[in-house]
Structure 1
Amino acid sequence: MAADTLPDWLAVQAEKRPAQVAIRHKKLGIWHEQPWHAVHNKVLLAARFLKQQGFGSGDTLFLLSEPRPEALLLSLAAHWLGGIAAPLDPAYAQPQLLDLLHTLRPQFVFAEAQAQVDQVFDAKPDVSVLIYANARGLADYTHPAIHAYTNIISVGEAVHGTLAAVAKPESLAFRFYRLGDAYQLEYRELSHAELLKNGRQLVVHELLTDKEEALAARAFAASGHARYLLSPWLLAGFKLNFPENLSTRDTDRRELGPTLVAGTAATYQRLYTLVQSRWPLPASWQFTLVKWALHQYQKRVPLLAAIANWLVILPLKDVLGLRHARVPLLVGEPLSAEAEQFFKSIGIQVRDWPEEADWQASPLQVIPRPPSHTEHYFGLKNLRAAI
């Protein structure tokens, strides 16, 4: 291996297991598979496009998207060229997100769909390159910066030897931004070396192999997901699944039954709340059965625990999509005591893997986007000024 970076490990997996599935993405109810060879090729094609657009070492590709393969592959393409991927949390409220974009002044952006494209133009009308994934509603957008992801990766087979990876182990791979409590800009940075170090720790500690199934149910806008999902995926070579959208992620998890689950406290709290919403009424026989089963399951008397597991525990795990969860990870803030106790009671020992790096104050001052500044460029037929 030339260097120990994320792009180098992508190349390793493409050579080691070219036909094995690397990514699955649910679209219109159907799972679509991409083997390692195809993923490697798409990253190279995307990197070649970015290079043609002037993207180079030290440049930043901002990503405004829910979890989907395009965001991941474009991040790796930026890394290939020695650049930085900066995922922005799509959960930000609109005013804060626009102020964040207006402050960061991005030149290279991946925006998932029309709503995100509009947000970018609201904050940065003179963006240089804006790549989108979902074309719905964008047919009349003729701004020269706009490019469809499907066009970028549909130009044929990439010639691997003509585009050498530039990243070095000490190069920055990700930078994460947020607005602090005092509305100041804060950031975290992760190098390739740090990501791979954390990934190796998880792979070794949890004995991860290429047989794992993982669900990317959140965007990589949290550093912990880059550490403990993206990096192990490249190191171990397992299958990474993307839900159709955020509203279907719990259904998709139940369908997949992943062995590796990387979630935040909000993720596990949402699952706990889901179970509580379906909990039997206290005076019912079903409630009595559930309480008995949880008690017997924790006592571990073999026959009674097996009956409790079959009657209640396994159905509960199925509701949560955790029946096969061998490695349930908690990234970031701790669970509430109540939720933690519940998961323990059904045999789910959530492992706490901290995000480690502290947020740092940025020298950039947050620049609120003035209403009179906004201009939407909707092609030649639709140009307006917001007041």
Structure 2
Amino acid sequence: MSVHELKRPPVADTAQWRVDLPKALEQLRHWAQVSPLQPALRHKRHGQWFVWRWIDVLRDVERLADGLRQQGFTDDSRLALSGAFEPDLLLLALAAQHVGGELLTLPDHLDAETLHKALWRSRPTHAFVQGRQAQQLWLNHGQRLLDFVALLGPAEPPQRLNRRAQGAQLWSEEGTQWQDGLTVVLEQWLNSGHSLAFPESPGSASRDRREVAPSGLLLSAEGLQRLATEIDSRLAPQGTWRRRLCDWAIAHPQKPLQRLIKNRVRRLLGFHNLHFIWQATRTPDTRSAPTWLNEFKRDIA
């Protein structure tokens, strides 16, 4: 996870990638004041869950803002973010807002040619990039990479979480390939004041989600389709009597046996505390998703 500086061009076209969060800092300061010691962010790293309290988030954002200023970031600068949503990326996004610069998100799986075109148009002055392959692509543009920890400066490390968190929790297993994702994640998190959790990696998302048992999922339409595929893979094969029984129970959960089967499926996926799945009103067709997921979808205009 690295930050590096790009040469600034005279003109930039940032409309496609720009992120606007006018009230983000105001909301962050609110939660840091009214719930300073409550968990704000959770992330699994090296097999351990770590937690940032609201006061920790605010302090880290302020430190990162100072670090950005030392790297020449001003209110005329543009910060491009590329990678999985997790605490470092969110904290840096908020720090850029703190300084007053422009914030951009670029997909994290671009090939060299597509990345070159995106950078040529958007002209970021600074960038935060996750993943070795992505970092190498940026290095191929002749840029110097900086360590995120050095940008943050001296700070208390996040606390290990030694007990299961209680209360409402949001969950994200997305990244900057979701064009509007950062806006959605930050708005839902800062509007609600709920804890927001992230998996250690895409490959561990299902297991880590079961450990968190979130109350809300923040998913793109593509993420919802991946979830539907995951659910289907965990059920009995199509055409078998066990699958017909499961489908019948999920579609008609009025009786005890049906509720038992449905609840078992939900627990297997880490959804036994689930209350809603965020979904934009205008998304690709997701009618192939399991019927029981529809009851959790909360359409947002």
Letter in 2 for 1:73: L
Matches within 5 A, 1:1-387: 5-123=23-141, 125=142, 127=143, 145-156=144-155, 211-222=167-178, 224-282=180-238, 284-297=240-253, 300=254, 304=255, 306-310=256-260, 312-331=261-280, 333-339=283-289, 341=291, 343-344=293-294, 348-354=295-301
Aligned-partner Cα distance in 2 for 1:286–1:221:
37
The whole-number CA distance in structure 1 between the counterparts of 2:174 and 2:237 is 33
TM-score by length of structure 2 reads: 0.81
CA offset digits 1:204-232 (Å, max 9, x no partner): xxxxxx94201121125545434433123
Is the contact made by 1:98 and 1:122 (CA closer than 8 Å) also made in structure 2? no
Change (3 A) 1:334 1:31: same
Which amino acid in 1 is paired with 2:271? L
Cα deviation for residue 56 of structure 1 reads 1.1
Structure with greater contact order relative to length (CA < 8 Å, sep ≥ 6): 2
Q: What displacement does 1:271 show?
A: 1.6
Partner SS for 1:339: coil
CA spacing shift, 1:214–1:9, aligned 2, 3 Å: same
What's the CA shift for 1:283? 5.4
Identity of aligned residues (%): 25
Q: Give, in whole Å, the separation in 2 of the partners of 1:25 and 1:254.
A: 14
Which residue does 1:381 correspond to in 2?
A: none
For the pair shown, which has the larger CA radius of gyration, 1 or 2?
Answer: 1
Q: TM-score, normalised to structure 1's length? A: 0.64
Cα offset, 1:100, TM superposition: 1.8
Give the letter aligned to residue 232 of structure 1: Q
Q: Which amino acid aligns with 2:283?
A: E
Equivalent-residue separation in structure 2 for 1:57 and 1:283 (angstroms)? 60
Q: Map Cα deviations across residues 284-322 of structure 1 (whole Å, 9 max, x no partner).
A: 44234224423531xx3xxx2x22111x20122123332
For this pair of structures, how many residues does the alignment match?
270
What's the Cα RMSD here? 2.4
Distance 1:327 1:275, change over 3 A: closer
Deviation at 1:242, TM superposition (A): 1.4
In 2, distance between residues paired with 1:156 and 1:270? 37
* 8 Å contact kept, 1:334–1:352: no
